[in-house]
Structure 1
């Protein structure tokens, strides 16, 4: 069951990635976009909590930690893209599952059997091949620090998601705390951007804030559904495996850029896609 939830999470996060890819080509304020994304997540989670009559317990406050990790991860990733080599940052932000496997072992004693470890390794190699760029060298590592920070923060978010299942935290109240925290953080950053823009008389973004926020809310629907799915996956499966499968959302974005944007696959990307699918089949065999 965990594999199904993880695949559904990857699909949702892949759709989110497609929307991020589209908006990245527009002149807009990313903090406004992400503020809208997290705001919609908070609204949907609150409505679901009220409808289901969920109990609000102190364990739901783990969601605050998840919100801080998610905010920090996104902020570090965007900073890395701004100051460094995008391909390097992309590789690092695609590897949280490796950190999750290590920490899950030491924190909760989660072990992978031989076949699970093999499937995990195959999937990670596939993701690396998809994200790898030949223009990376030892002398061209700009943004590596921000990419590493994003890597650990995204891993922290996944580990926190696993923790919520072990602590029997109520799902929707936890997500309310998470998305509310992210909304506040990105809202404050948006306010800072607006103030700095006024002080420097910088040209405003082509997309008005209201439109950007509404698009962010649309993205937020995919995000909150993905979070529900991945937490259910954590509840039924091992954290590292769930995290690795969910990270395959990059393949969905890759397919979008190939068939919709009409970008061409490199041989390495084709190989990575095939390797990742082999890893998925191995996991299916192991889980069955």
Structure 2
């Protein structure tokens, strides 16, 4: 049953990735978007726990760690996308299952059988092939440090999730603490960015203008019309309410994915669950191919085929 939970979690995270991809093309504030994503998870967790009545125990501390590591992973990932090459950052962040498997062995002595190890290797190889780009071959590794940090933080998130299960933490209280922690951290980031923006605007407005001459406008009429047309066609930034509500909508895929993943961790092997969940990238690629009509390279086709082979092998081994 844990295998089905992990596969369904991958589907939820894949849908989340599709929504993130769609949102990335819109003028939204990322920090406020994530506030909505995590706030939605916190609200849903509380509502579910009102119905389930699960007790709050010491295991909820791992929910705080999950929220912190998840926040740090997302922050590192988007920082990497901002200053480095997206393909390089995505490649390193996709190696999380390897870190999780090694750490699970050191922490809990979790080992894989021969067939499980074979299936795990195929899945990880598929992830590497899918995420590999010519940037790595040519040595253009700009942003690799942020990708590496994201990989570690995502790994710590998975390990904290597993530890919350092992410590007997109740599902919905743990998730409530996770998403509440993430909400507060992203809200802090949003507030800080707003403060910096307003400070820059204030300083710019208060800066004295010592120029006495009136500049001559040498722009011809054609250039003026082009500038006006470009300004008119530029999309307006989403307001705070719209961004927050959309983030909460996207957050529904995140919370249900986490519920499924924690259920998978109850009986499943940590490294394998992490590897299956990481295959959500395959869903995003298939979406890009069949909906966005992006051409799929031979490399991506091979990676997707290997991913399905790896899933079959892991299913036979479970």
TM-score normalised per structure 2: 0.88
Residue of 272, 275, 279 corresponding to 1:241: 272
- Could you tell me which runs of 5 or more consecutive residues in structure 2 were left unpaired when the two chains were aligned: 205-233
Does the aligned pair in 1 maintain the 2:88–2:135 contact within 8 Å? no
The aligned counterpart of 2:34 is: 34
- Distance (Å, rounded) in 2 between the aligned partners of 1:102 and 1:205: 46
Q: Deviations over 1:33-71 (max 9, x none)?
A: 011000000000001111111101121121000000000
Residue 139 of structure 1 and its aligned partner are, at CA, apart by 3.6
Does the aligned pair in 2 maintain the 1:36–1:217 contact within 8 Å? yes
- Distance (Å, rounded) in 2 between the aligned partners of 1:95 and 1:50: 37
> What is the correspondence of 1:1-288 to structure 2 with a 5 Å cutoff?
1-137=1-137, 139-201=139-201, 206-287=237-318
Residue 210 of structure 1 and its aligned partner are, at CA, apart by 1.0
- Name the CA shift for 1:152/1:170 in 2 (closer, same or farther; >3 Å): same
- Distance (Å, rounded) in 1 between the aligned partners of 2:235 and 2:104: 45
Please give the root-mean-square deviation of Cα atoms over the aligned residues, in Å.
1.4
Residue 194 of structure 1 and its aligned partner are, at CA, apart by 1.1
Q: Deviations over 1:91-134 (max 9, x none)?
A: 11111110000000010000001110110010011111111111
- Name the CA shift for 1:205/1:105 in 2 (closer, same or farther; >3 Å): farther
Residue 205 of structure 1 and its aligned partner are, at CA, apart by 6.5
- Distance (Å, rounded) in 2 between the aligned partners of 1:168 and 1:121: 30
Does the aligned pair in 2 maintain the 1:59–1:169 contact within 8 Å? yes
- SS class of match (1:27): coil
Max Rg structure: 2
- Name the CA shift for 1:205/1:102 in 2 (closer, same or farther; >3 Å): farther
Residue 204 of structure 1 and its aligned partner are, at CA, apart by 11
- Distance (Å, rounded) in 2 between the aligned partners of 1:50 and 1:205: 40
- SS class of match (2:249): helix
- Distance (Å, rounded) in 2 between the aligned partners of 1:278 and 1:139: 30
- SS class of match (1:136): helix
Give the number of equivalent residue pairs. 287
- Could you tell me which runs of 5 or more consecutive residues in structure 1 were left unpaired when the two chains were aligned: none
- Name the CA shift for 1:132/1:139 in 2 (closer, same or farther; >3 Å): closer
- Distance (Å, rounded) in 2 between the aligned partners of 1:75 and 1:37: 14
- Distance (Å, rounded) in 2 between the aligned partners of 1:7 and 1:177: 25
Q: Deviations over 1:147-186 (max 9, x none)?
A: 1011000000000111011101000000000000000000
- Distance (Å, rounded) in 2 between the aligned partners of 1:73 and 1:26: 22
Residue 28 of structure 1 and its aligned partner are, at CA, apart by 0.9
Moved over 6 A (4+): 202-205
